[in-house]
Structure 1
C-alpha cells in the first residue's frame, strides 16, 4: 500500500484454548508510546476464547526503529505480520494511535478484518498534544539516569501526572552502560508526528462489524465526532465506559474486557 519497506514487528502470541482453535484470532494494537506488554492482563482473559496476538508497532516496544509513521505504512507492517503467521482474517482491536492503524487496515484490506474494535479514537485529525511528553523523554535521554527514581525525576520536570510518568517509564530499559535508556524510536516518532495526529488512511468505509469504545471522561471521541465516525465505520456501535478516560482499558479493565468479549462472541 506504500513504497516504504515493512519492518519485522515484535509480537506476543498466546494460543487459544483447544476448544477455540478454529475461531479467528484477535490482534491487539497499542497506542502512541505503548507496547504489547501493556496488554498482557487483557490477553490472558481473551485467550480463553480465541488466539490472541499483541504486537509492537514500528518505533515502539521491541520492534525495529524505522522512518515513516503514516497509517498506511503501519498497516502494511501489520499485514506483513499476519502473512508471516499465516493468518487470513482476524478481529482487530486498536487503542488510540493503534485504533487509527486498525481503521486504516480495515479500509485498505477489508478482506483481512473479520471485525474491528476501536478504543477511544475517532478518524479525525487532532491538535498537537504531546510536546511535554516528548520533552520528558528527551530529558531522560540526555540525563542518562542510573535508576528509575532518577528517571522519574527527569520525567517530572515536564510531566506532572504520576500515572502518565509511570506509563512513559514502561519505555525505559537498562542498557549495557547501566543507564536507563528509552527504547522507542523517539526521533522517528517526532518526525512522523504530523501523520500520527492526522486522519487514518483509506478511501472507502469499512462495512464490517465494528465496536467503538470511548471513555466517558475522555475528549477523544466527542459527540461532534460521531458523524465522521459513521462515515468511516457505518456499522459501528458506540459504547461509553463510565468513569474512564483515554486509557479506558486501564481505568475500567473489567468493563473493557467484558465489552470486547461480548462483541466478539456475537460475531
Structure 2
C-alpha cells in the first residue's frame, strides 16, 4: 500500500482515554469524514492530512491520510490566530497587559490614529489598520516582530479604531510586539512558556523552521504545530481554560476570547461566517483570534473556529460539546487549478461531525451501502409499512427529505438514498454509462422491495419519470415535484465532438473561477426564485451544497437520464399507477407530462419556488400524505 493512500486510526491518543460512544448510544461513524480527507489527498490538494475529534479530554476519533501523522509538523497559517490570542490572554491574566490599553502605551512611535487602537481591537481586526502590506511594499516576512512593526508604523490608517472589521494580519503583529515588551521576551518564548509548555505541545512554536524559511513570528500566520499538539490546545479551550486539572487560562479570559469583539464595527459582505455558514444577518462574527461561526439567540457562541488559508481548521462546538482539528498544508497550485478553495473547503468538517453524532443517537434508522453495477449507494431506512423511497434534487442529498421523513415514518417504511455522484454514494465515471433509474431498480432489488411509492424532486423527479417509463410494474405510486420531463439528450444521443469541446471549455472556465463561488451562485439562484419565506431555505440548502463534491459540473457526465427519450418510453409503457405532480406557483409550470400520464393529479403550492418540500414543508407534507392515503 502506498503511503499517500494510507489512512489509519491511531492506537493511542494524546495519552487520554478514548471514548467508545459520544454521550451514549452507538459509537459515531466518522468514516465519511475520513473519506473526504483521503479524497483531497488523492486529488493532490494536500500531501497529507490529520484529524482529531474529541470531547473534553477524551478522544472520539483520530485519523491520518497521505503523509499525515500525529506528530507531522506543518505551518497552519491563520489557524494560529487562536493560539496567539490565547497566549496574550495569559498575559492579561497575569496583569502584564489589559485588553483596553492603547497601542501607544507600549509603542509611542504610533502617533496617528493607529496608536489609539486597543489591544482588544488589534486582536479582533477592528483596529483600523490595513489588513496586509500594500502592493509594492515588501510582504510582512521580517525576522522579528520589532522589525515588522517598524514597517507598519508609517502606513496610513484604513479606518478609525472600532469603525470597520477588516480581517488580516498586520494589527496582530502590533499586538504581538506589545506582548513582547510587556513580558520581556520574544513572542515564541511567551507562547512556549505560557501555552505550549504547560499543555505538552512539544512540536509547536512561532518561529521559523529549517524546512520552511521565510516566516517571522507572525501571530496571524507562522504557527507550526501538529495534529496532536493542537488537539491539546482545544482540550483546554473546550474545558474552559483547564487542562489535566491545571488552569491555563482564567474563565474570564475564555469569555473575552469568545465574546463578540466586533462590537458594532461595520462588517462588509463576504466575510468568512457568511461564506461558510450563509449567515447574512449577523455582525457579531469574531471574538479575539477566532470566528464566532454560530451563536444562540442571546449571542452566546455555539461554534468557534480558526480556519487557515492552507487547509488547516480548528473548532470548538459548544452546541455538541465536541472539538476537532484538521491539520494540513495545501499544494496551492494544484488546488487552484481545480477550482478548490483551501480556505473555504474546511467549512464542512464541523457540520459533518455534528451529523455523525446525531446519527449515533438515532437508533431507529438503518444506514448502509448497497452495491449497484459500477458503484455503491448510501441509504437510510426507518419506520414500517408500505415503502416510500425519496429521491433528492441536484446538488442535494438524502437529507433534503428530513421534514417528510419525520412525518411519514410513523405509518410507512421510509427510505432515502444518495443518487450516484451525490452525498455518500460513489461517484460516476466519465466513460461509464448508466441510468439513475437502473440504479433505483437495483437498489430496490437489493433491499427486497418489489414495489414502492416513489417521491422525487427536481433531478429526483426526472428519475421517477424515467423509472415508471422503464419499470411501471415496480411503482405503487409516483410523485414528481419540480421536475418530470427533462429536455436534454438521452442515452441514445451520444456526445458529439463539438458538444464535448464546449463542455470541456465550460469545465475549464468553472475551475478558473473557482468551485466555491459557483456553489454560492447556485444557492443564490435557488433561494432567489423562492417565495416570501425563501430565506429559510438558505442554511439547510447550503449544508448540502457545501458538502456536495460537485462532481457533475467538473466532469463530462454520462447520459444518466432518459431526457428526450422519456415520452416515448411512457407512451409504450402506459403506466397506470396514481401520479402526483407538485409545483410551486413561482416555478415554470409546464404540464406536458399530462399527455402521457392523464391520471396525474396536479397540486400547485402557493408562495413557493422550486424546492417546495423545504420552502413550504407543512403544505408539501400534507399534500403527500393525503395522496398516499388515497392510494
* TM-score band w.r.t. shorter chain: 0.7 to 0.9
Cα–Cα, structure 1 residues 160 and 120, in superposed 2: closer, same or farther, change >3 Å? closer
**Partner residue, 1:7:** 375
Cα distance change of structure 1 residues 92 and 138 upon mapping to structure 2, 3 Å threshold? farther
Q: How does 1:83-94 map to 2 (within 5 A)?
A: 83-94=445-456
Tell me if structure 2 keeps the 8 A contact 1:12–1:54.
yes
* Alpha-carbon offset, residue 214 of structure 1: 0.5
Residue correspondence of structure 1 range 53-132 to structure 2 within 5 A: 53-67=415-429, 73-125=435-487
Shift of 1:183: 2.6
Aligned mates of 2:418, 2:625 — CA distance in 1:
22
Per the normalisation by structure 1, the TM-score is 0.74
Residue 619 of structure 2 corresponds to 255
1:115 counterpart SS class = strand
Q: CA deviation at 1:136?
A: 7.1
Per the alignment, in what secondary structure is the counterpart of residue 14 of structure 1? strand
Indicate whether 1:216 and 2:216 are aligned: no
Q: Distance in 2 between matches of 1:45 and 1:138?
A: 43
Please say if residues 26 and 91 of structure 1, whose CA atoms lie closer than 8 Å, have aligned partners that are also in contact: yes
Q: Name the counterpart of 1:185.
A: 551
Q: How many residues align?
A: 231
Aligned to 2:415, the other structure's residue is in SS state strand
Render the CA deviation track for 1:196-250: whole Å, top value 9, x for unaligned.
693463343322110101101111xx2xx32x21122221011100011001111
Structure 2 gap ranges (5+): 1-371, 490-505, 529-537
Aligned with 2:375: secondary structure? coil
Alignment check: 8 A CA contact 2:380 2:415 kept: yes
* Residue number in structure 1 paired with 2:598: 234
Match of 2:563? 198
Query: Which structure exhibits the higher relative contact order, with contacts defined as CA atoms closer than 8 Å and separated by 6 or more residues?
Result: 1
**Are the counterparts in 2 of residues 103 and 200 from structure 1 also a CA contact under 8 Å?**
no
Greater mean deviation of Cα atoms: 250-259 or 205-214: 205-214
- CA contact 1:70–1:196 (8 Å) conserved in 2: no
1:172 aligns with 2:546: yes
Change in Cα spacing, 1:69 to 1:33, as seen in structure 2 (3 Å) is farther
* Structure 1: tracts of 5 or more residues without a match: 142-150, 174-181
Name which of 390, 414, 420 aligns with 1:28: 390
CA distance in 1, matches of 2:627, 2:520: 39
| Structure 1 counterpart SS, 2:563 | coil
8 Å contact kept, 1:92–1:115: yes
Q: Distance in 2 between matches of 1:200 and 1:70?
A: 19
Give, in angstroms, the shift of residue 8 of structure 1: 2.2
Alignment check: 8 A CA contact 2:465 2:484 kept: no
Task: Give the deviation of 1:6 after TM superposition.
Answer: 4.9
Deviation digits for residues 133-155 of structure 1 (CA, Å, limit 9, x no counterpart): x97788555xxxxxxxxx5x774
Q: What secondary structure sits across from 2:380 in the alignment?
A: strand
SS in 1 for 2:376: coil
CA contact (8 A) 1:72 1:105 kept: no
Could you say what the CA RMSD is over the residues aligned between the two structures, in angstroms?
Answer: 3.5
2:338 aligns with none
